[in-house]
Each structure stands twice: as C-alpha cells, then as structure tokens.
A and B are shown apart, each in its own frame.
Chain A
Amino acid sequence: MSFLRKKLDQIKKPFNKGEKWEKFAPAFNAFDTFLFVPDHTTKKGAHIRDAIDLKRTMITVVLALVPALIYGIYNTGYQHFHQLGETFTFMDAFLHGAWKIVPMIVVSYAVGLGIEFIFAIYRGHEVNEGYLVTGLLIPMIMPVDIPLWMVAVSVAFAVLIGKEAFGGTGMNILNPALMARAFAFFAYPTYMSGNKVWVSDASTIDAISGETILGTLAHGKPVEHDMWSMFAGSIPGSIGETSTLWILVGAAILILTGIGSWRIMVSGVIGGAIAGLLFNLWSANGLMAFPWYQHLLVGGFAFGLVFMATDPVSAAQTTKGKWIYGLLIGFFCIVIRVFNPAYPEGVMLAILLMNVFAPTIDHYVISANIKKRKKRLASATVKSA
C-alpha cells in the first residue's frame, strides 16, 4: 500500500500547485481519491468529522442498484430465449443480457464522466461523484434494444443541459437520469415505446413480441402475466425496472443506511395506492380496473420511487416537503398512466413534474416557519409596548 501511495505521489507531482499540469489536477485527483481517502485534515470548524462523504453516499446508492441490475441482465436474456421458445441455462440468459447491457453502461459512463471531467477542469473544482449513480441509472431505465449512439446522445443532453447548465452537481432542478430518458423518449419515440423494444432483439426478430403489461392494458388486451411474475420481474420492460423484489432489496439498503429518504418512498406508495383505489372504483377501462396493488408492482413505479424520486438534489428538501412530494409523485404516476393514451407509463413524467414543483413545496413549508417567527415577534412587540 505504501509503495502504491509513493508511486501515486510521484505521478501527482506535475499536477501540484504551481506545476505545469496544475489545471488538470481535478482529473488526476478523481482517480487518486478513488484509490485513497486523502490525508486532508480539518482546518477550521469542528476538529473531527464523520466517516461519511459524498463518495461513500453515492457508492452506497450504486450498491443498492446492483441487485436490480443483475436481475435486469438475467431478465434480458430470459425474455429473449423464452419468447423464442429455446431451452437455456441461467448462464446463457445472463451472458446474453450482459452482452447487451454492459456496452450501454460503458457508453453511459464514458460520455457522462468525460463531460464531468471537462467541466471540473474548466471550472477548477473537483469531480463530483453524483454521476456514478446517474451513469448507472440511465442504462437501467432504457429499453434494451436502444442503439448505443442514442444512449450517448441522451447522456450528453442530460449532463450538459440537465446539470451543467444549471451550475453542476447540487444545482440541477430535474433528475439528470430522467432527463436522459425524457430526451430519448421525445427524440426517438419509436425506440422508446411500442411493443418492439422491450425484449432483446424484438425489433429484428419477428417471433419476439415484447409488449409491457401497461402497453397491453393500454391496448385493451388481457394481461397474461401472474402476480408473482410482476413481483419477481420476469416480465418485459426497461432493463432495471421489472423486478419489484430486487428493487425492494435496494430500497432496504438505502433505508437501512439512511442514504435514501424513506419518507418519499413510503408517501409515494401511499399516493400510488390512493390513485389506484380511486380508479378501481371508477373502472372505466382496463387500466383503471387494473388492481391498485398490481399498479404498484408493474412498470417503473417501484424503480422510479426508490431510486429517482429520492434523488436529494431534485426532490423536496424539507421533511414535510418530502411527504407531500412523494405522495404527489405516486398519485400522478398512476393518473398519467391512466389518462395518457400515447404513453402507458407515468412515473418518469410524474417525477419530472414534481421535480419542477419541489422548490414550490419547500417554499410553502418554510413560509410556515417564517410566519411563526414573525407572529412571535409581533406578539413580543405588543407585550413590550
């Protein structure tokens, strides 16, 4: 370890202050601090500091994503072979999925981190770790058959327009991963919806029809999957979103470590359930009659709520605000599903919509605190007068 450290310090020399590559220090530091937590000590303020930092926070989210990712990779192969009617082993399915998905992840990280590095050097700050999560989320919410160049363009749009244009990490209004998906959805609609994209090779092989459950419902057809498949995730859909089971494992990791907001997740489920129940009472079409608890299992509802709605930057920031924010996301997700004929899934639009309203929610929550203070001041002035 000390040998590696010495070697790194040697390589680092030209990046130090006053040396010729000083400007590129953020790029080097990103790799250096990935290997070692630096030897920085406290200079002012509290002399001791908590073990947590942004790297640890973001890596914990990445770890929470891994179960859903691994299942997503397997499910990609499973859907492919299952629809072709071939016999296959777990390994076959996994390798088929990996062959499709790993390149997407590589492209997402390469493009996104490339832009982040350039901005860090240009602005002279360290590379923020937020993209470690965004870069993994983006492939997980894409249909498996999307061409890689579309992934690259979407990522570039999300990072440039969705994040850096607002000032970088911590300043963005909308969730960058959803920005990428929304961009792809509106720029390349044929690759992002319909019944030809959700299963690997469905667009090229006619024998495969990859229709999602929500797509089936929107077309007024009966659903062929049982509830266990919906929960376990052996259904067509975006790569990471199908398995509620493994998403719940991720949710458990986020809640137990205290990294993700359980308030948003819980209130989101409540909001979704309320909307689902109301529509069940109405029952005018297949999507409305679809049982409310199954609404919570299918589509991107669970994935969006656990991993995207809880993004602290774009979510409401106050405790009360988080309850309201989550509740409305759950509610609007189901509403959009039922009322939007062009697009049977609503979670992406629901979260983006509430991202926009999150500052407003916080504004009213904080106003209550300010009002309380002003009222106290007024009564104190009356007393002394």
Chain B
Amino acid sequence: MSNDIKIRKGLDIKLKGEAEKTISDAPRSKNFAIKPTDFHGVTPKMVVKEGETVKAGDILFFSKYSDKVKFVSPVSGKLAEIRRGAKRKILEVIIEADATDTYKEFGKKNAAAMSPEEVKEFLLESGCWPFIKQRPYDIIANPEDQPKAIFVSALNTAPLTADVEFILQNRLEDFQAGIDALSKLTSGKTHVSVEAGSSAISGVKGVEVHRVSGPHPAGNVGVQIHHVDPINAGERVWVVGPEDVAIIGSLFNTGKMDQTRVVAVAGTAAPKQQYFRVKIGSGMSDLLGEIPVSTRIISGDVLTGNQVSNHGYLGYYDNTVTLIPEGKNFRMFGWMPFIDNHIPSMSKTSLSFLFPNKKYEVDTNLNGEVRALVVTGEMEKVMPIDVYPMQLLKECLAQNIEKMENLGIYEVAPEDFALIDYTNTSKIEAQSIVREALDLMIKEVG
C-alpha cells in the first residue's frame, strides 16, 4: 500500500507578499499574553494573581472542566493584568517580562524509558498538553481519552503560511524527541505527513510517513486523517502542530519549557516579509512596529487566522502573521464579470483564471453581500473530504444532530471549510457554522 496522499480537489490561492527565508530574532516584547480565547471551549481558572511573579513554565491557569490541563507562562516576569471582556470572561493574561528568562526546571527525560502514564503526566505538568488537540471537534485533547492514532501534518498549504521544513531545519532532534514522546500516548500508529519531495523531515523514525501532494487544503491534518484512517463516531484522533512537537521534544531534551516559535510575517502590507524567532504570546507592536489601521493584522493565515490589533498578541498556535490591506472601499459596477480582474476568482468570471501562476494582492473586502444559498457544486470543488459540504452545512444550521452525524460531522474541522468561506458565491460563513455545530455536538453527544 502506498503511503502517498494525493489531493485533487482544492485551491491554491496565490498571493503576493511571501516571507523571505531568513530568520531574525524579534526584539523581545515588554509584555506577553496568553489568550484563553485561543483554546476553544476552555474556561480558565486562574492560579496566579495580578502582581505575582512567575518563571517561564510556571502555571498561570488551568481548565475549569478538565483541571489536569494546565497553561504555563512563556516567559518569566510579573503578572501585570488579567484583561476581561463581557461577563468578566478572561480575554488576555498579560505578563510583564523580565529582561531575560529564568526557567522552571522540569528535569531532562528520556521518553523511551518512560511509561505512557509518566509521559502523559509530564506533558500535563509542564504545560505542553494544550499543544495536543483532538479530532473530532478541534479542541484540546481530553487526557482521559485513548486516541486511535496521532497525526502531525508537517506541511502548510494555506496561502502565505510558514514553510514547516524551513522552521524545523535546526530542530529535527527536538522534533524526533517530541514524536518519541507522543507515540507513547497511543496504542495505534503515529503519522507524520510531509510535503512530497521533502527530505529532511521524512527521515523521522518510529512513525508512518505520508508524502502529501496537491492543492490546499492538502496540508490540513483533517484531510490527511480522512485519507489515511477516517474518524468514526466515538473515535478520537489526536493532532499536534509540527513546531509544537519540537517544543515538546525540547522539553524532554533540556528539561525546560521553552516556548520559542519561528513565525513567518507575510502579506503585502507587512513591513518586513521574513521569518522571526519569537516567544509564544509576543506583542504584535514589538514584532511589527506601528501598523496603520488601514491594515488588517491576522495572527495566522488569511483563511483561518484571527484578527488582532496592533497592540494585541500572537496567537498560541500560530506560525504565521499575515498583514493585508483592509478593503473598505466601493467599486463601481464591480459585480460585472471580467471587471476588476485584479481580484482573483475560482470561477471563471474574472480573467484571473487565465493566469494560474500570477500572484495577487488581496484585501479584506467581502466582494459582494450575503445572499441565500443558490449556486451548487462549487463547495465540492474545494472539499477533498468525502462529505457533501452544502448539505452538511444546512444540517448544521438546522442543528439536526443525527443528520450531521450521518453526513460526516466527525470528520471535519472548521479549517476544512475555510476555502468554502473564500469561494462561495453567497458569502456564507461556513467556518463559524461548523464551529457552532461542533460545539452543539460537544454538548449533546460529548
């Protein structure tokens, strides 16, 4: 049996502003923040009070409904502020950083010599657990579960995203150590998918390697799971981001929880399009400088990222920061076919289809208005998972749990619907529809 995953359905959106392949150390932020909103479904229970000091690796808060899952500080310093929103919901836990970090010592470990329970305990204690997410539902894994497999997608296919191989080039030892630790957590297989033609990461041992080719969303781990070992009702699969595996590995190798990331800053509105070495939770203004309000700052990629303000902070899981111009402008008769061809389209109503390799500068204009669902067949073109996306979305809106199950809700995550957000004629917000449906499933089915 071939281990290759060839994706045919999908769409590569070619954008200008790719990050140049050089890495600099970003200036150290004065303030760092861990945002509980990055952890979907987690209600934080604070452990540290405002004004108290923490070391890098000290626990800040834990999850109210799963108290073993702990969230730790990326840097050492003083807890400056717990910023709350409506209904006193905690939005940001802000730490005023010391000039240099002092780390909490967890002690070096060798995963090979540990039992699965010890590995699990160590990951929970050190604050590495939030890196492990589960499918279905796309939330932080429940430590009590037994996953049938673990998947790591070591390639990004979304537009302007960081090149995983480039990020991990000097961290392959950590990556291997992380994989060794994670494999202990499942009785099934651990799968690592790499870009077809990639060599460095495919050398990783003790896993099943899959070579992935094809357009976005080939890099989405959900798509790969679907092609290798699809999820059935009641099953759990755990997924970990590639650099997160390396962070886990470095914990085992050094005994320190060093939450350093390499982040690609990309997009046409970015002041400098290159890679930066930063800590998780860094301040955007330190990384980017002053950015005008006519620019949208996205922590993540243009399809799935979150908008952050210039004074906001890097998202917990993000390896990419994208800056594109806001599109708050009117276009006269812009709805005519073959007008405004500088805006790409998957349909052939823009001349962009004649230049499949041209890179485009895009903005955040909706390019139309929300309408009833009329056009059929376009969602299927960008959905490489064997589900009927439009029918599934309609059942999600109708909150019909049995039909959602039948149509494959367990096999999808919001990110798999990102291209549908982008391409659909009626400007339906597919990702948030799926997210809400998954939340309903968590509540009703669990």
A, B co-complexed: yes
* A interface with B by C-beta (< 8 Å): 1, 4-5, 33, 35-42, 44-57, 59-60, 63, 126, 128-130, 168-171, 256-259, 261, 312-313, 315, 317-319, 322, 362, 366, 369-370, 372-374, 376-377, 380-381
Q: A36-B331, A47-B322, A59-B337 are in contact. List 20 more A-B contacts (CB 8 A).
A: A38-B369, A40-B365, A41-B327, A41-B365, A47-B298, A49-B365, A50-B343, A51-B350, A53-B335, A54-B375, A59-B336, A60-B337, A168-B372, A258-B347, A259-B349, A318-B388, A366-B407, A369-B407, A370-B406, A372-B386
Say whether B303 contacts A48, CB under 8 Å.
yes
Say whether A128 contacts B366, CB under 8 Å.
no
| Cα distance A47–B295 in the bound complex, in angstroms | 12
Which of B85-93, B192-200, B427-435 is near enough to bind chain A? B427-435
B47 to chain A, nearest CB (A): 31
| Cα distance A381–B234 in the bound complex, in angstroms | 10
Say whether A53 contacts B371, CB under 8 Å.
yes
Say whether A37 contacts B429, CB under 8 Å.
no
Say whether A171 contacts B372, CB under 8 Å.
yes
Binary A-proximity of B355-388 (CB < 8 A = 1, otherwise 0) = 0000000111111111111111100100000111
Say whether A170 contacts B373, CB under 8 Å.
yes
Q: Tell whether A39 pairs with B388 under 8 Å between CB atoms, given A46-B421, A52-B349.
A: no
B340 interface hit (Cβ, 8 Å): yes
Chain B residues within 8 Å of A57, by CB:
347, 349, 374-375, 425
Say whether A41 contacts B371, CB under 8 Å.
no
B309 to chain A, nearest CB (A): 14
The one of A35, A48, A256 that contacts B324, using a Cβ cutoff of 8 Å:
A48
A171 nearest CB neighbor, chain B only: B372
| Cα distance A71–B426 in the bound complex, in angstroms | 32
| Cα distance A50–B335 in the bound complex, in angstroms | 12
Say whether B366 contacts A40, CB under 8 Å.
yes
Q: Tell whether A48 pairs with B368 under 8 Å between CB atoms, given A1-B332, A37-B335.
A: no
| Cα distance A54–B429 in the bound complex, in angstroms | 15
Q: Tell whether A315 pairs with B430 under 8 Å between CB atoms, given A39-B329, A56-B337, A59-B337.
A: no
B274 interface hit (Cβ, 8 Å): no
Chain A residues within 8 Å of B377, by CB:
261, 312, 317, 319, 322
B82 to chain A, nearest CB (A): 25
8 closest A-B pairs by CB: A53-B368, A170-B372, A37-B334, A46-B421, A55-B335, A51-B343, A51-B345, A36-B330
Say whether A128 contacts B371, CB under 8 Å.
yes
Chain A residues within 8 Å of B337, by CB:
56, 59-60, 63, 257
* Number of residue pairs A-B, CB distance < 8 angstroms: 210
Interface residues of B in 228-268 (CB under 8 A from A): 230, 232-233, 235
| Cα distance A55–B331 in the bound complex, in angstroms | 14
Chain A residues within 8 Å of B368, by CB:
37, 49, 52-56
| Cα distance A312–B349 in the bound complex, in angstroms | 17
B71 interface hit (Cβ, 8 Å): no
**Secondary structure call for the B interface:** loop
Say whether A380 contacts B232, CB under 8 Å.
yes
Say whether B303 contacts A366, CB under 8 Å.
no
Q: Tell whether A258 pairs with B367 under 8 Å between CB atoms, given A52-B425, A168-B372, A377-B233.
A: no
Chain B residues within 8 Å of A41, by CB:
326-328, 363-366
A373 nearest CB neighbor, chain B only: B408
Chain A residues within 8 Å of B340, by CB:
51
List 19 contacting pairs A-B, 8 Å CB cutoff, sorted by A.
A5-B330, A37-B335, A38-B369, A39-B330, A40-B369, A41-B364, A45-B418, A50-B346, A50-B367, A50-B423, A51-B350, A52-B425, A55-B368, A57-B425, A63-B337, A258-B349, A312-B375, A318-B388, A376-B230
| Cα distance A42–B296 in the bound complex, in angstroms | 10
B9 to chain A, nearest CB (A): 11
| Cα distance A207–B419 in the bound complex, in angstroms | 61
Say whether A36 contacts B422, CB under 8 Å.
no
| Cα distance A257–B230 in the bound complex, in angstroms | 35
Say whether B344 contacts A169, CB under 8 Å.
no
Say whether A53 contacts B425, CB under 8 Å.
yes
| Cα distance A41–B331 in the bound complex, in angstroms | 13
Say whether A36 contacts B332, CB under 8 Å.
yes
A381 nearest CB neighbor, chain B only: B232
The one of A36, A44, A129, A259 that contacts B371, using a Cβ cutoff of 8 Å:
A129
B43 interface hit (Cβ, 8 Å): no
A125 to chain B, nearest CB (A): 8
Chain A residues within 8 Å of B332, by CB:
1, 4, 35-37
B143 interface hit (Cβ, 8 Å): no
| Cα distance A33–B371 in the bound complex, in angstroms | 13
Among B305, B337, B352, B387, chain A packs the most CB atoms within 10 A around the CB of: B337
Chain B residues within 8 Å of A63, by CB:
337
A382 to chain B, nearest CB (A): 11
Say whether A169 contacts B429, CB under 8 Å.
no
Say whether B427 contacts A53, CB under 8 Å.
yes
B97 interface hit (Cβ, 8 Å): no
Chain A residues within 8 Å of B336, by CB:
56, 59
Say whether B427 contacts A46, CB under 8 Å.
no
Q: Tell whether A126 pairs with B369 under 8 Å between CB atoms, given A41-B327, A41-B364.
A: yes
| Cα distance A57–B378 in the bound complex, in angstroms | 12
Say whether A35 contacts B333, CB under 8 Å.
yes
Chain A residues within 8 Å of B330, by CB:
5, 36-39
Say whether A257 contacts B334, CB under 8 Å.
no
Say whether B426 contacts A46, CB under 8 Å.
no
| Cα distance A54–B375 in the bound complex, in angstroms | 8
B13 interface hit (Cβ, 8 Å): yes
B353 nearest CB neighbor, chain A only: A258
| Cα distance A352–B368 in the bound complex, in angstroms | 31
Say whether B298 contacts A39, CB under 8 Å.
no
The one of A4, A53, A322 that contacts B369, using a Cβ cutoff of 8 Å:
A53
Say whether A258 contacts B374, CB under 8 Å.
no
A126 to chain B, nearest CB (A): 6
Among A54, A169, A322, chain B packs the most CB atoms within 10 A around the CB of: A54
A313 to chain B, nearest CB (A): 6
B402 to chain A, nearest CB (A): 11
Chain B residues within 8 Å of A258, by CB:
347-349
B204 interface hit (Cβ, 8 Å): no
